[in-house]
Amino acid sequence: MDTAHIRNFSIIAHIDHGKTTLSDRLLHRTGTISDRDMQEQLLDSMDLERERGITIKAHPVTMRYVARNGETFELNLIDTPGHVDFAYEVSRSLSACEGALLIVDAAQGVEAQTVANVHLAMKHDLAIIPVINKIDLPHANVPQTKQQLEEILAIPADMAILASAKEGIGIDEILEAIVARIPAPKPTGVAGLQASCFDSFFDTYKGVVTHVRIFNGELRPGMAVKLLYSGKSFEVKEVGSFNPKPYARERLEVGETGYFTANIKSPKDVKMGDTVTDNRTPAPALPGFQEIHPMVFSGLYPINTADYEHLKASLAKLQLNDSAFVYQAESSVALGFGFRCGFLGLLHLEIVQERLRREYAMDIIATYPSVVYKVRLSDGELKEIDNPAFLPEVTFIAEIHEPMVKTFIICPNEYIGDMMALISEKRGNLDHTETLDARRVMLTALVPLNEILIDFHDRIKSLTRGYGSMDYEHAGYRASDMVKLDILVNGEPVDAFSCIVHRDKAEGRGRALAAKLKEVIPRQQFAIAIQAAIGGKIVARETVSAFRKDVTAKCYGGDISRKRKLLEKQKEGKKRMKSIGAVNIPQEAFIEVLKA
């Protein structure tokens, strides 16, 4: 296909604004999929993606569209992960496009996530086609949505296409707009092949299947290619596109989107954003490459220490299709051998844990998540700390810097006060507020990442009765007065419960943690002291009182079997607990402390 007839675009939208339904409509209208294959949420192939209504893996799909002028176009829809945790992936996907459909729900209006994603799309100079979706809903408010587009996003409202993906309204207009308004790919003009890797997955037979956008030259089987950042060279075995199932093609030409395989055994050899060039005459790298840096770390440990090898194998398999997920072996005094895992964000962490439990049937304990702190020591050395256990002694620390995020909160007017209180509770600074329309405002605030990790989003949802939405962008580091909070169980520090918190919050959090643990640690035949300590100073104490007996008195011949089974069950239950010294701590305790 000549480049003039190729369009590469993605779709950006808030959750539930109809991205998936619209994608399916486009596939159907262009004849890419038949009625029979019109399965709900076609592009999100993981169960988890469907359940949560989010896209984790990006799939490019190639469609053939005969436009009203009679010419045939190749439309490549590059789906993007919808969540801010995957901002780098989003930016890689967007950089493979020349345009984007921006979907806004006519009833809900512009949401925080829409703002963040539009900012990203604008950074990549994409042509944006606003689509006001769900106009068929009785409470759709098109004029107001148009006003928001202009005022919040600075997008001319008369550009907007009115649509209902569910009812099939506006689909043709959207396809025509893609052809008319999105520019055709322009070759970069350098000699030879230049292609950008924007995603990959692992196939047992073919190895790593890399998704690429060709910016210059062409990619054919048999070519020797080099990946510029990883420095590895491979011989291309197969190239192709998706419809949405993969199919092999003779070549991928300039401007096109598809995949290639090259017997690549390790997903680590293909870095997102890397440039593929001809091995003999390497072209310069495409801009925008970054190493992916995990933002959130948590220790994952098998409940049963015997499952360590199983966990290790499961993590390796999981990483094959999730190159943003990193892990390395670590050990904890409390939990034994496990892995320090890095995630792009909290959602990413939850997804990985959930997949381990579901797909790999692993019983795991996850430690309190930590962000990456930059610690400057008294001798000038700079350390990055992602595990509270490795925070140096206070006396050696000159300064601690914590990561910040710029967060956008959109909520109905009446909740401004609650949101401002929440921002200040979370140690944030309100930057400015904007009125979106008669009933909603957007607050922009600078908040420490550490504070939004656990319950920020949930709190916004509950404070605003579900009407509020939130998103964020990373915003560098700031010096903060952080301290390490330790939890001691019968005098022994439980490293898995340690966390780094701001000094002003340490005592409150220590008290809350101790109280929570008192609830979840079962009584034993001795009293259990739970203490919270900051730098060796005890700030809170709770006691789980001893139970004085456990024996039920009566036990004769007919009772033995039943009694034995009961005891066996108890014993089995204790095996699923972690013993810290002589104290058994149930799995729930490790989960509950996340909520304390």
Partner 1 sequence: MTAIDTGPVRHLYVHVPFCAHKCEYCAFYSEAAQGELVNRYVAALVRELELVAADLRPRTIYFGGGTPSLLNLRQWETILAALARLNVSGADEWTVECNPATVSPDKAQLLRAAGVNRVSMGVQSLDESLLDRLGRIHSREQVFRSFDILRRAGFANVNLDLMFAIPGQTMAVWQATLREALALGSEHLSSYEVIYEEDTPLFEQLRAGRCDVNEDLACAMFEELVATAEAAGFRQYEIANFARHHGLAGAEVPDRACRHNVNYWRGGSFYGLGPSATSYVRGVRTKNWANTPLYCEQLEKGRRAIESTEELPPLGRAGEIAAFGLRMNAGWPFAEFECVTGFDLRGEWAGDMAWLGRQGLGRIAADRFQLTPRGLRFADLAAERFLRP
- Cβ-based nearer residue to partner 1, 70 or 557: 557
- Cβ-based nearer residue to partner 1, 139 or 571: 571
The Cα–Cα gap between 462 and 456 comes to 10
- Cβ-based nearer residue to partner 1, 263 or 570: 570
C-beta separation of 322 from 270 below 8 A: no
Q: Which residues bind partner 1 (CB under 8 A)?
A: 525-526, 547-558, 560-561, 563-564, 567-568, 570-571, 574, 582
Q: Least distance to partner 1 from the beta carbon of 551, Å?
A: 4
- Cβ-based nearer residue to partner 1, 192 or 586: 586
Bridge partner list, 225: 234, 278
The Cα–Cα gap between 148 and 153 comes to 7
Q: Least distance to partner 1 from the beta carbon of 136, Å?
A: 52
Q: Least distance to partner 1 from the beta carbon of 583, Å?
A: 12
C-beta separation of 61 from 79 below 8 A: yes
- Cβ-based nearer residue to partner 1, 163 or 585: 585
- Cβ-based nearer residue to partner 1, 375 or 521: 521
The Cα–Cα gap between 474 and 543 comes to 41
Residues 23-57: b if buried by 16+ CB within 10 A, e if exposed: bbbbbbbbebbeeeeeeebbbbebeebeebebbbb
With 0-12 CB in 10 A as exposed, 13-18 as middle and 19+ as buried, what is 548? exposed
Taking only Cα atoms into account, the Rg of the chain, rounded to an integer number of angstroms, comes to 27
Q: Are strands 373-377 and 382-385 parallel, antiparallel or unpaired?
A: antiparallel
Q: Least distance to partner 1 from the beta carbon of 555, Å?
A: 6
Q: Least distance to partner 1 from the beta carbon of 492, Å?
A: 16
Q: How far is CA 7 from CA 61, 89, 215, 254, 436, in A?
A: 12, 20, 13, 12, 33
With 0-12 CB in 10 A as exposed, 13-18 as middle and 19+ as buried, what is 395? exposed
Q: Report residue 344: phi and psi, to 5°.
A: -75, -25
- Cβ-based nearer residue to partner 1, 231 or 557: 557
User: Closest Cα partner for 366 from 188, 593, 149, 519?
Assistant: 593
- Cβ-based nearer residue to partner 1, 248 or 546: 546
How many alpha carbons lie under 13 Å from residue 248 in its C-beta half-sphere? 8
Vertex 156 angle, CA 151 and 161, to 5°:
115
Q: Least distance to partner 1 from the beta carbon of 562, Å?
A: 9
3-class DSSP state for residue 298?
Answer: strand
Bridge partner list, 422: none
- Cβ-based nearer residue to partner 1, 328 or 561: 561
Q: Least distance to partner 1 from the beta carbon of 444, Å?
A: 51
Q: How far is CA 64 from CA 220, 229, 265, 284, 425, in A?
A: 21, 33, 33, 31, 52
The CA-based dihedral angle spanning residues 35, 41, 47, 52, taken in that order and rounded to the nearest 10 degrees: -160
The number of helices, as runs of H, and strands, as runs of E, in the chain is 14, 32
Q: Least distance to partner 1 from the beta carbon of 550, Å?
A: 4
Q: Least distance to partner 1 from the beta carbon of 265, Å?
A: 41
Q: Least distance to partner 1 from the beta carbon of 163, Å?
A: 57
Q: Which amino acid is at 115?
A: V
- Cβ-based nearer residue to partner 1, 40 or 550: 550
Q: Least distance to partner 1 from the beta carbon of 494, Å?
A: 21
- Cβ-based nearer residue to partner 1, 377 or 567: 567
